[in-house]
Structure 1
């Protein structure tokens, strides 16, 4: 089952897709793994980002900004 689409904003700036200008996304957490920590079996300590996958074209946008807010979108 597909997740429900969301809209996202940082402050009062709404995020749109860099490729197709769509404004609906699937949201997920993404690990930003480094080779060093992978080698030492410490990948769990790597930084995470929020991934926004464009609902229309599938382009993946990554954000490490903690101020990003998500809003449910009806579809």
Structure 2
């Protein structure tokens, strides 16, 4: 089962753009490009942190490596 997290960038807590919830589940997301796919190098594409809203399911993507995740009880 997915673990509930809250997320922050520095002193700013992240909330869902759709429903304003502040609880998410985290998942790594590969940012594939068509050029890299064509050359069979998709494994080298950049990875983002996906935060999936616990309430509505909206997916937020962050490539900022300074995002901080904090576990919470959902």
The bucket for the TM-score relative to the shorter chain is over 0.9
- 2:8 corresponding residue in structure 1: 9
* 1:32-73 residue CA offsets vs partner (Å, 9 max, x unmatched): 000000011000110110000000000000000010000001
Q: Which runs of 5 or more structure 1 residues have no equivalent in the other structure?
A: none
CA RMSD in angstroms, aligned pairs only:
0.6
* Structure 2: tracts of 5 or more residues without a match: none
Query: Residue in 1 aligned with 2:20?
Result: 21
CA distance in 1, matches of 2:2, 2:23: 12
Aligned equivalents of 2:13 and 2:72: distance in 1?
A: 13
What whole-Å deviation, never above 9, does each CA across 1:15-36 have from its counterpart, x for those lacking one?
Answer: 0000000000010100000000
